[in-house]
């Protein structure tokens, strides 16, 4: 733990000890939210920083984690100096675990784990390190853990996104961003389903073949895959359907201008329901707001600098919805160190 954090983390531990049902143990009730996007630069980091502020304002203990390895900049949006070890130090075995990386912020109850800005070049994570990071995050204690990811469908990013079945996808209203969000969703779903079956299984082979056939031009739609898996065994078909049902991402349209932009979130939801067989929650529409770009120069989240602004009110609304929104049960995921990414990229282009 960083020295400047000692006192506040002690407060956090004490605070947690006094919440009924919450204790500083592995089995603490907490919500993990991952924040990804199909395209870079759509406002994930801004969203994560301001969501942290809104959650803390509502009395939640929050840990924000910068897992945008190779592009870490959450510290800038939070106004935290870039001098604390982060996930990069963990990767290079200079720190024992994620808990030792917690840094306090200006906001009581809001904590932060830096990324790899002190140790750049860690974007290509090895499988065991990724596993360790995910395990350690699962052991952290807070009401909410919010994870900022890099943009795009790189498979390590998708594996972090799948820490929860209810990750958030941020997009802007541009057509390219919306299409990339759909591709991101599809890649996440394929990987989720692939990881639902053990290594070397007939189900994994079938999923792999299905993607290959699609690249080669087969007309089968994603939902046909349920029948293919069910033919292997009824039980596998059931696992597949359960995973589809429990995958419940949330979509946020950011930097919107018009009514047409508002409708895009609903359209993306409808297309995903029809083509991928999944439900999504359209949880927020955030307008383009010059206060947001201005807040970056001041190195503070806009929701903190301007608590009465429309932006802050929108963030508070999204936060309240998130708190009320139920989380589906998680099913077991097996490991997969191989990469479907290259294939999926081809499929998404098809």
Ligand X SMILES: Nc1ncnc2c1ncn2[C@@H]1O[C@H](COP(=O)(O)OP(=O)(O)OP(=O)(O)O)[C@@H](O)[C@H]1O
CB of 233 to ligand X, least distance (A): 40
| Interaction of residue 292 with ligand X, rule CB under 6 A | yes
| Interaction of residue 176 with ligand X, rule CB under 6 A | no
Select the residue interacting with ligand X from 12, 16, 22, 37 (CB under 6 A): 37
Using CB distances below 5 to 8 A depending on partner kind, what does residue 272 bind out of Mg ion, ligand X, none?
Answer: none
| Interaction of residue 142 with ligand X, rule CB under 6 A | no
* Ramachandran angles phi, psi of 145, nearest 5°: -120, 120
Select the residue interacting with ligand X from 9, 22, 42, 304 (CB under 6 A): 42
Alpha-carbon span 150 to 294, nearest angstrom? 22
CB of 345 to Mg ion, least distance (A): 21
- Only one of the segments 95-103, 190-198, 290-298, 332-340 lies at the binding site for ligand X (rule: CB under 6 A); that segment is 290-298
**How many residues interact with Mg ion (rule CB under 5 A)?**
2
Using CB distances below 5 to 8 A depending on partner kind, what does residue 85 bind out of Mg ion, ligand X, none?
Answer: none
| Interaction of residue 286 with ligand X, rule CB under 6 A | yes
Strand pairing of 103-104 and 110-113? antiparallel
Select the residue interacting with ligand X from 34, 56, 66, 68 (CB under 6 A): 68
- By CB under 5 A, the residues from 13 to 72 that bind Mg ion are 44-45
Using CB distances below 5 to 8 A depending on partner kind, what does residue 102 bind out of ligand X, Mg ion, none?
Answer: none
Select the residue interacting with ligand X from 271, 296, 323, 336 (CB under 6 A): 296
**How many residues interact with ligand X (rule CB under 6 A)?**
20
Using CB distances below 5 to 8 A depending on partner kind, what does residue 288 bind out of Mg ion, ligand X, none?
Answer: ligand X
Q: How many residues does the chain have?
A: 350
Alpha-carbon span 171 to 285, nearest angstrom? 10
List the 144-151 sheet strands across, edge first.
103-104, 110-113, 62-67, 144-151, 31-37, 168-171, 250-256, 281-287
Q: Is 346 exposed, middle or buried (0-12, 13-18, 19+ CB in 10 A)?
A: middle
Using CB distances below 5 to 8 A depending on partner kind, what does residue 318 bind out of ligand X, Mg ion, none?
Answer: none
Contact positions toward Mg ion, by CB under 5 A? 44-45
Contact positions toward ligand X, by CB under 6 A? 37, 40-46, 68, 71, 150-151, 254-255, 286, 288-289, 292-293, 296
């Amino acid at each position: 733990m960083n020295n400047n954090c000692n006192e506040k983390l002690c407060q956090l531990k004490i605070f947690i000890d006094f919440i009924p049902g919450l204790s500083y143990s592995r089995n603490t009730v907490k919500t993990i939210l991952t924040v990804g996007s199909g395209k870079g630069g759509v406002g994930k980091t801004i969203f994560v920083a301001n969501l942290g502020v809104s959650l803390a304002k509502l009395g939640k203990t929050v840990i924000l984690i910068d897992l945008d390895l190779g592009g870490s900049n959450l510290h800038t949006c939070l106004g935290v100096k870039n001098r604390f070890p982060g996930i990069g130090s963990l990767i290079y075995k200079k720190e024992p675990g994620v808990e030792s990386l917690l840094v306090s912020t200006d906001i009581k109850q809001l904590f932060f784990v830096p990324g790899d800005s002190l140790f750049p070049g860690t974007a290509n994570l090895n499988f065991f390190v990724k596993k360790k990071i995910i395990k350690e995050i699962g052991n952290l204690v807070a009401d909410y853990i919010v994870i900022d990811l890099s943009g795009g469908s790189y498979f390590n990013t998708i594996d972090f996104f799948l820490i929860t079945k209810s990750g958030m996808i941020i997009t802007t209203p541009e057509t390219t961003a919306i299409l990339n969000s759909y591709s991101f969703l599809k890649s996440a779903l394929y990987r989720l389903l692939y990881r639902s079956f053990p290594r070397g299984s007939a189900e994994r082979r079938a999923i792999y073949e299905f993607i290959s056939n699609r690249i080669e031009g087969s007309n089968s739609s994603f939902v046909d895959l349920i029948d293919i898996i069910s033919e292997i065994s009824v039980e596998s078909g059931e696992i597949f359907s359960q995973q589809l049902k429990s995958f419940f991402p949330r979509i946020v349209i950011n930097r919107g201008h018009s009514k047409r932009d508002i409708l895009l979130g609903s359209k993306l939801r409808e297309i995903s329901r029809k083509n991928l067989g999944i439900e999504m929650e359209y949880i927020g529409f955030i307008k383009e707001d010059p206060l947001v770009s201005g807040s970056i120069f001041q190195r503070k989240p806009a929701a903190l600098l301007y608590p009465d602004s429309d932006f802050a009110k929108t963030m508070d609304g999204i936060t309240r919805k998130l708190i009320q929104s139920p989380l589906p049960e998680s099913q077991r995921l097996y490991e997969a160190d191989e990469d479907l990414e290259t294939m999926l990229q081809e499929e998404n282009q098809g």
